[in-house]
Structure 1
């Protein structure tokens, strides 16, 4: 569980939900003036007294929605606040009432993958009640799905209205040149030097999905450390089997 202060939830299920330490706002590549920059600014400010109480993020797989939710929880921890990240695609089989019980006592809750529970009556009823208690307690909530709130197949009208309570953002995908820069930024954070030539080589031979690109970088980092070698094209070809 991703809580920080001692704030026991006696009826909360024991879950194996862990945050990725690399999922920080500093590790999320943005261009100033773009929508993604507004998203990051909103999430960074959310726990402040005048911050948004409800934020809904949506976007296709690989654009960084999960990264942003986990970054929100990590930032909350750094600020001494209590937070919880819940990936609903992995938790859809749990009892939703039991899963959400007492979470309004936390400062921030992030619900990822709402599309996994759309149309399920027990989940829709539980989420509707949860929205109401979060509103009444003044806590912060971030929700995410692979489509906008109006496109979710929600059968409970009251829940559909709740999903549009706050700010709604579509997280924008990166252009290929920005993916190269994001890969280089992540490499620098690991203490690696990734030249433009090598970054372009990886981009043209590996899936352009950012998650897969970062997984490749993780493999290169481990191999570079083990063999004490720089990231050259021959080394990348050898390590990744290209």
Structure 2
């Protein structure tokens, strides 16, 4: 009978909060926030967000998407044939341009920025100069775009993110537990989300608030 409480815990979906009011700002992402905030006063109609996986690029791109009603596409899906249809939206987000296969398609899309007053936000995990781009014209075009980098989250930001993620689930966690987790977890937003999800699940199983042993078990389960 000892495992009965776990059988009563249902995995309910938890929607990630992705609005502008949910994006926490620190020194690590302030430049990227400023870039998005200054739209539509970009010098040209395109810009690049650069940052490692889990740094918050997708969240910030979502903020811009809500402001512009942009459509969202992955760079790997770009082709010369589908660029006109993609451009017809007027505002477009192209994620992960390091994965682009049809480089001529991305170059064509950027040409349409001036021709059709298109608005384009690009995201990537590498600076334009470090991207595996073999098309010289595209390489030059990308390097000329306004750019902001997002660094891995610092302690202040990760602490605030953890507190907020717990609060979103109506959980209050003592500061010393947050400090315990901070020095042990992976340094990314996605890691924070995974940890809070796992800690919440374990607290529900035990029908208990999140304690240090629960936090430690959640970290161990995630391999931290």
Same fold (TM over 0.5): yes
- List gaps (5 residues or longer) in structure 1: 1-19
Secondary structure of 1:142's counterpart equals: strand
Contact 1:70 1:85 in 2 (8 A): no
Of residues 182-191 and 223-232 in structure 1, the stretch that sits farther from structure 2 once superposed is 223-232
The alpha-carbon distance between structure 1 residues 51 and 225, as it changes in their structure 2 partners (threshold 3 A), is farther
Offset, 1:125? 0.9
Offset, 1:160? 1.5
In structure 2, the partner of 1:27 is 22
List per-residue Cα deviations over 1:106-136 (Å, max 9, x = no partner).
242111111112xx4xx11111111112322
- CA distance in structure 1 between the partners assigned to 2:168 and 2:85 by the alignment: 37
In structure 1, the partner of 2:7 is none
Offset, 1:211? 1.0
In structure 1, the partner of 2:197 is 218
Contact 1:25 1:40 in 2 (8 A): no
State the structure with more CA Rg.
2
Within a 5 Å distance, the mapping from 1:123-202 to structure 2 comes to 123-202=102-181
In structure 2, the partner of 1:87 is 74
The alpha-carbon distance between structure 1 residues 218 and 26, as it changes in their structure 2 partners (threshold 3 A), is farther
Offset, 1:199? 1.0
Contact 1:56 1:143 in 2 (8 A): yes
Offset, 1:66? 2.5
The aligned length equals 206
- List gaps (5 residues or longer) in structure 2: 1-14
The alpha-carbon distance between structure 1 residues 150 and 205, as it changes in their structure 2 partners (threshold 3 A), is closer
The alpha-carbon distance between structure 1 residues 219 and 238, as it changes in their structure 2 partners (threshold 3 A), is same
Contact 1:86 1:112 in 2 (8 A): yes
In structure 1, the partner of 2:30 is 37
The alpha-carbon distance between structure 1 residues 137 and 24, as it changes in their structure 2 partners (threshold 3 A), is same
In structure 1, the partner of 2:3 is none
1:57 to 39, 45, 49: 49
Offset, 1:158? 1.5
- CA distance in structure 2 between the partners assigned to 1:241 and 1:150 by the alignment: 38
Secondary structure of 1:213's counterpart equals: helix
TM-score normalized with structure 2 length: 0.77
Offset, 1:225? 5.6
CA RMSD of aligned residues (A): 2.7
Secondary structure of 1:57's counterpart equals: strand
In structure 1, the partner of 2:61 is 69
Contact 1:85 1:109 in 2 (8 A): yes
TM-score normalized with structure 1 length: 0.72
Secondary structure of 1:55's counterpart equals: strand
Secondary structure of 1:101's counterpart equals: helix
